[in-house]
Structures are given as structure tokens and as C-alpha cells.
């Protein structure tokens, strides 16, 4: 797999391992989204010979980090429970808990939709959307529209990548 990162040594090992696993799992181009403390969205392109290239990705705060920022840096919004607002996604929230939750989940969904569309434009075909991490189920629960048909939740993507890397190194020895 080719790494197009400007400074490959600066790419987090967790992201690289997730991409290794995604390359094995996805039969086509894919957007690999890890939903944890931070949310990473990494694009993997496959050529006609199924050779993969990591073409880049984004990093943004995770749901809890976004909510913590609001809770700690604004007045009168510090009513979260365990650092996570217990709200519901609403089109037009009518209470602060739902407003915070809806704003945060909407920003995540919007960012994923944008990166997925960008990858689709580059690949000229709809890419797979691989989700992993602690908040993957939360995202899918609130995701709607066309993207749902491309979603595949993959538990332990980083560990799967580590196992794949170990097998590759063992087989080449």
C-alpha cells in the first residue's frame, strides 16, 4: 500500500494500521472513519490492479471532546453527565441538551458526508464507508440518507491492521 502523506513518519500508527485493515476488508475505494476521542477520516483509493494508496485524511474532535469544549468554555452549558450530553438529534432542538447533541452530531455527519463526496468525485464511483471506534454505533443510529447503504461497521480496525501487518511480516520472512 502506498502512503501519500507528505511526512509518512508523522502519520499516526493507529491511522496506518486502520488503513492496512481497511485495504484487506474493502474491495473498492473507501473512507475509513474512526470515531473515538478524535475522529479521523482517511481516504483509500484502489487502482485497476487493486493496489491501494492512502491519499490523505482529516482529524477533528470527537463527540465528547466537542461537547466538553462547549461545557468548559461557554457559560451555563456545563450540565453534561460524565462529559457527554444526553440529548437527542432533533431538526430544530427546543432544549439545550438536544441543541448541543444535535450540533455536534450534525457537524460529524456533515464532515463525513463532505469527505465521502470528495472521495467519490476522485474515485468516480461511490466508495465504501468503514466505521470504527467507540462512537461508530452512535453515528449510524443518527445517520440517514444515501450513505447508510455504503456503511460497514468494523470493530477493532486498528487491531485487525496490526494482525494483518504481523502476518505479512511473518510470511515475508
> Secondary structure of 5-22 in the HEC alphabet?
CCCHHHCCHHHHHHHHHH
Do 116 and 28 form a contact (C-beta atoms < 8 A)? no
Provide the grid cell at 39: 475522529
- Residues forming beta bridges with residue 33, ordered by sequence position: 41, 131
Of the candidates 14, 47, 76, 146, the residue annotated as catalytic is 14
Output the DSSP codes for 21-34. HHHHH-SS-EEEEE
Say whether 14 is catalytic.
Answer: yes
Catalytic residues: 14
Amino acid at each position: 500500500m502506498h502512503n501519500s502523506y507528505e511526512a509518512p513518519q508523522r502519520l499516526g500508527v493507529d491511522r496506518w494500521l486502520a488503513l492496512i485493515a481497511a485495504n484487506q476488508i474493502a474491495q473498492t475505494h473507501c473512507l475509513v472513519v474512526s470515531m473515538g476521542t478524535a475522529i479521523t477520516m482517511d481516504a483509500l483509493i484502489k487502482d485497476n490492479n487493486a493496489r491501494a494508496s492512502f491519499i490523505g485524511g482529516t482529524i477533528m474532535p470527537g463527540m465528547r471532546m466537542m461537547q466538553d469544549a462547549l461545557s468548559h468554555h461557554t457559560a451555563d452549558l456545563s450540565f453534561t453527565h460524565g462529559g457527554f450530553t444526553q440529548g437527542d438529534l432533533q431538526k430544530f432542538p427546543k432544549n439545550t441538551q438536544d441543541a448541543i447533541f444535535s450540533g455536534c452530531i450534525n457537524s460529524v455527519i456533515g464532515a463525513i458526508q463532505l469527505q465521502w463526496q470528495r472521495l467519490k468525485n476522485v474515485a468516480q464511483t461511490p466508495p465504501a464507508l468503514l466505521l470504527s471506534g467507540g462512537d461508530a454505533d452512535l453515528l449510524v443510529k443518527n445517520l440517514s440518507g444515501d450513505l447508510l447503504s455504503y456503511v460497514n461497521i468494523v470493530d477493532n480496525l486498528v487491531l485487525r491492521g496490526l494482525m494483518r501487518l504481523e502476518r505479512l511480516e511473518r510470511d515475508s520472512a
